[in-house]
Structure 1
Amino acid sequence: MSKVFTIAEGLENLGALRSGGQGSVYKGRRMGPIYSAVKLIPTPIYTENSDDKNYRNFENEVAKLQKVNEVPNPNIVKIISSGLTESGSFPFIEMEFIDGPDLSELLLPPHDKVFTLKEALKVADQLASALAHCHRLGVKHGDLKSNNVKYNLHTGNYVLLDFGLAIMTEEQRRSSMRNAGAVEFMAPEQYDGKMLPQSDIYSYGIILYELLAGEVPFVLKANNEAARNALMLKQMESPVPDLLEKRKTNLPDNWAKDKMAAELKVPDWMLKVVAKCLEKNPADRFADALELYDALSVHQTRMEPIAPVVESDKQYAEIEWSLKLQLIKNQLQDRLISEMILLYNAQPAANLADENKAYYLNDQVKLHHSRLNELLRENGKDEYGRDKDIQAALDKIQETELLAHPSKLYIPKTTLYALLTALGALLFTTIFLWEVYRHNATAIKLMNLFLTIAKSIFGSKK
């Protein structure tokens, strides 16, 4: 494949992956067979010093993105490097290459037009976790849409990509938005070039709506200025179409009737979360993704038991319970993955900091384990069922504690007793053989006795 231009020394350009109003993403190869994705910002920077406003803004925002990566999150793409291209002086961000489809591709044939409730919940949880991580560090994404969230085929996680819009100035964003290809995901205030934490919340709501309904609330009819203006007016003034009606229309015909009925039972709390995310006024939405993630967790991990239901509602009750359980398991898995990444990537100079992080994350894992335990008990699961569901998680927690604190070796009681017994036997045998070597009369008599017994046992078998 021919090169379009040189990105940077040691970083080969393998051609464009996709282009849009916020820039282009190229496939790169760094130092041999290591692939990456390179985001190019369409505004060139000609002077690499702090006197250049564009360069200064680029450096400040890249520093924020690097801060996001200081504590790894399994649902956020890793930033590898950044700089200016050797030809054209375009700012670029090099990211890890995620092998797998994005959400928009997963909604196209041969896939179903809508996500199952279980999978939609997994996306909602992992995407909210990624956004919360960014907002906690003061980083707004600004370009959240379904093709900026990819499914990693190798880990099974959904990963948030493309922070290109976050490093643009307000003027650049306003110009870029006029030519953006995904205006369906934009919050009303973004048409004025504003980018707030609540703007990410609105886009998050559009994604969740799209996964559940099979299409965005307001569809762009054509790619021209008139169509974009019409869409903008709808987003600012029109009520959001009924999600359940759209989901009912777009359910796959090849699904069994029981499955279709069950998949239409979208929990009320989920509909309320989507509705709040899609409020026209930013002040009426969740203040940021931290508040969104907390609300999602509270809705999904309520501790009240499910009330007795009639036969016709049992399937709905089972779905509600399984969704609660799935969220806690997702959170537990994310915490474990984060902790393991921290431990394996720990630098010697930062041992204390990494150990403190491991302590914190381990506490969080235990908290989620406690919630899972409580949820199972409240829903009438027996002791065996509880143990079966959580034993694997406990084993992983113990493994991570062993890696974090090797001096605090965890050994199960049965293994400890066996080791002590073997150690005692070895010690006794060593002392006994030493006494035989020293011609101790008692030891020699015992040795002869053992040999006599052994001969009688094995001799009788012959």
Structure 2
Amino acid sequence: MSKVFTITEGLENMGALRTGGQGSVYKGKRIGPIISAVKLLPTPIHSESKDDHNYRNFLNEVEKLRKVNEIPNPNVVKILNSGITESGSLPFIEMEFIEGPDLGELLKPPHEAIFTIKEVIKLADQLACALSHCHKVGVKHGDIKSNNIKFNIHSGNYVLLDFGLSVMSDEQRRSSMRHAGAIEFMAPEQSDGEILFQTDIYSYGVILFELLAGQVPFPLKDNGETARNTVMLSHLEKPVPDVLELRRENLPKSWSALQQEKEMQVPAWLLQIITKCLEKSPDNRYANGTELNEAIIENTISESNDGAANTIIALRLENEKLQQQLLTYQQADAVKKNRVHVSKPLFAGLVLLIIASITYGLFKTSPVKSNLSLPSKDTSALSQKKVSPDTIANKTKHAAAIDTAKKDTSKSAVTKPLSHKKKPLHKKKKFLGIFPI
């Protein structure tokens, strides 16, 4: 583990999770047990002035990321914070830490290098949901690969991670892609540093191809420049290999003959979706994640000629239940987690606001309390006057009437201050952090 140092106020770096040409990801620690994943981008920003092109672009793209979290999605990592490091002037994005393996780890021993059809459809459904959610608010991920999709061991959902590339400028992206290690998942247009909604669709297709076939369409043989150029040219020019043929070759030997036969019955609609996602021209792919998600939904709820309809429908209901459970958890947990991110000045301001509200409530109720004492004074005055025995009965009746009025006044007065004090409690902010979670 690398030496602990502070990334920014209240956020310590607890060691690198992974490094790469497009930035490094560190484990971050805030107050108490709060652990996060912090992406440091490789290009420094030396001026925090809106006149600086890189800084202005960073702010604009971060604002888009903020919209991603306005409505929590169980298949998209939550963005907690962003800023510039205290030393080194590197922009960073702080995200929730997802506990569980990524797809790259799930495809390596002791796991099988291939997924069952049921699990492929589950991931296809949830990743399409994630892309639809992001694209609706104008966010293009640009770096979808096996290592950026994690299986959440607590919810059973797949989660899309690492939006670091999405906040880079076109020039920064072109520079980082020359050294990126995920060229096997890059769309043809990314060779020019371009990122479209259809770019994410292409990478989505590569993911599904890898899960079904046990390998990506165009594997990288080594990290040399020649091998990298060969893979990129293959994305640009070569036809996509037959996914079913590769699946048959790579079926796990541990599977029985019956299971192998069953696992070769890949639904035709799933193969068609993969083929469309991997079109060379962006115009021939799904336009965005929403269109892709609609295609997945349409096929998973319709009757299938592949004999898998009932399994697919049941799986989708299971996925929706898991998503709703996590969504409820995220919304209920949002306020508690955001309290950690409230700055000291903001916290002090909130304390002052609460004190002012209580003080205002006390002053507001004081006239009512004064009114409660008036009948008592009147009664005391009556008892001090000299009265004749003939009027005692009348005075007694009068005092009883005043006492009854006093009780009625007391009841109404108690009700009013309580209702008045409750109002500020219903005006709490929905979230307190820099980003809604």
**2 CA distance for matches of 1:24 and 1:54?**
19
1:159 is paired with a residue whose SS is strand
1:67 deviates by: 1.0
**2 CA distance for matches of 1:5 and 1:44?**
18
CA deviation digits over 1:266-286, x for unaligned, max 9? 000000000000000000000
1:298 is paired with a residue whose SS is helix
| 8 Å CA contact 2:5, 2:14 repeated in 1 | no
Deviation beyond 3 Å, 4+ runs, structure 1? 339-347
Counterpart position of 2:318? 329
**2 CA distance for matches of 1:284 and 1:19?**
34
Counterpart position of 2:23? 23
Matched, 1:98 2:93: no
Counterpart position of 2:237? 237
Counterpart position of 1:132? 132
**2 CA distance for matches of 1:243 and 1:292?**
20
Task: Output the amino acid matched with 1:296.
Answer: I
Counterpart position of 2:50? 50
Percent identity over paired residues: 60
**2 CA distance for matches of 1:341 and 1:180?**
33
Aligned ranges 1:62-211 → 2 under 5 Å: 62-211=62-211
| 8 Å CA contact 2:155, 2:326 repeated in 1 | no
Consecutive unaligned residues in structure 1, runs of 5 or more: 308-315, 348-462
1:7 is paired with a residue whose SS is strand
Q: What's the TM-score, normalizing by structure 2?
A: 0.74
Task: Output the amino acid matched with 1:225.
Answer: E
Change (3 A) 1:18 1:323: same
**1 CA distance for matches of 2:209 and 2:310?**
22
**2 CA distance for matches of 1:337 and 1:105?**
23
Change (3 A) 1:335 1:2: closer
Change (3 A) 1:217 1:2: closer
Counterpart position of 1:354? none
1:109 is paired with a residue whose SS is coil
**1 CA distance for matches of 2:3 and 2:83?**
19
**1 CA distance for matches of 2:313 and 2:99?**
29
Number of equivalenced pairs: 336
**2 CA distance for matches of 1:212 and 1:320?**
19
1:249 is paired with a residue whose SS is helix
Consecutive unaligned residues in structure 2, runs of 5 or more: 337-437
1:255 deviates by: 0.6
**2 CA distance for matches of 1:41 and 1:98?**
20
**2 CA distance for matches of 1:265 and 1:2?**
48
Task: Output the amino acid matched with 1:213.
Answer: A
1:323 deviates by: 1.9
2:165 is paired with a residue whose SS is helix
Q: What's the TM-score, normalizing by structure 1?
A: 0.70
Structure with the greater alpha carbon radius of gyration: 2
**2 CA distance for matches of 1:110 and 1:67?**
39
CA deviation digits over 1:309-359, x for unaligned, max 9? xxxxxxx62x34212321243134424543564466489xxxxxxxxxxxx
Task: Output the amino acid matched with 1:165.
Answer: L
**2 CA distance for matches of 1:335 and 1:202?**
28
**2 CA distance for matches of 1:346 and 1:33?**
16
Counterpart position of 1:393? none
Change (3 A) 1:210 1:131: same
